[in-house]
Amino acid sequence: MFDTVYVTQEAGITFHPKIYIFTGDSDAHAFIGSNNLTVGGTEKNFEAAVHLEIALPSEKASLDELNEAWNDLLPAACPATIKLDTSEFKRLVKDGLVVEEKVLRRNSGDADAATVGSGRKAARSGMLVKPESPLPKKFLAAKKSAAAAKPKTTKSAGGLAGTAPTTATAARGFAIQIKPHHNGEIFLSVTAALQNPDFFKWPFNGLTTPKKVGNPSYPQLDPDPVVNITVIGAAAKSILTLSEYGLNTVYYEKKSEIRVTASPLVGIVPDYSVMIMEHSEEEGVDYDITIHTPDSPEYAGWVDACDQSMPGGGQTPRKYGWF
């Protein structure tokens, strides 16, 4: 991601400045504040920062001042700073100064997630929350095109064969408009599963047991994913909460459909509600699912975050997006 990386380290002193400078031909933008350069730090957390807009070339002196703050930290001016290379990286890991992110989360909690205790999400207060920016369609399309150039055939226990991307899309969550059926079934998206198979554990590893002898079996996730479900209504608060719910997930090969079943949602979740799936930080739970009904104050924002349309969706195709 970067052409050069530096590490500043001094015993007994915490390194904590955050200055982000983006420079173009006619202007520059600088952000100075508390936020990390993460989705949480830039879009979701409570943060404080100053945004400086600098016109170029007339305000170049201001940009030079900001760059000097950076230059003062480089090895030539600061003995506490080193240029990072492979040997230095190995030393930091060996000394226990660099650890895997999952270890940090397990020991101290995720600083960029609204979690409490053992990872369970805090209850919604009713405050309006802006959706984070969706991953660009071009990025997802590029991943899919790259996979198509060098197809990797996969096969599940149920006989599902297909072309899956050779590398998983770096997505933390998935949002999709849903139309719950009277029997509790909700259709997901095979196209989305092909874009990011790891997120859905695709292709599925189990088989359904037919209710009638002689009927075909279909690939399914085995065991059922365990999910927490929260449905948000008009007050931006929960109108239904399901904890540790077993979400039956089946791929119906003949129609090329992925369906999940959540019967408690029938009569509560209207058509075209937006369902958001995220990997859960709670032990024993696979996904945290939030559903915004059309009455939710956050609904329009999440519809905008669904930046891809389902193929063959009729007059009003359902939309979905990755973030």
Contact at 8 Å (CB) between 176 and 287? no
* φ and ψ at residue 192, rounded to 5 degrees: -65, -40
pLDDT at 20: 94
pLDDT at 188: 95
pLDDT at 265: 97
Angstrom distance (rounded) from CA 238 to CA 14: 40
Question: Which residues, including other chains, have CB under 8 Å from residue 222's CB and lie 6 or more apart?
Answer: 204, 205, 206, 207
Domains and CATH numbers, the chain: 6-98 (no CATH), 137-322 (2.40.330)
Mean pLDDT by 10 residues, the chain (323 residues): 86 84 96 90 90 96 94 92 93 85 60 46 72 80 44 38 44 93 95 91 93 90 96 91 96 93 96 96 93 96 93 82 93
**How much of the chain is in helix, strand and coil states, percent to nearest 5?**
20, 30, 50
pLDDT at 157: 37
pLDDT at 99: 81
| CA distances for 188 relative to 19, 98, 275, angstroms | 41, 39, 10
**DSSP annotation string for 66-83:** HHHHHHTTSTTT-TTEEE
pLDDT at 285: 96
Contact at 8 Å (CB) between 233 and 296? yes
pLDDT at 106: 58
pLDDT at 169: 52
pLDDT at 101: 73
Location of structure tokens 């405050």: 127
pTM metric for this prediction: 0.71
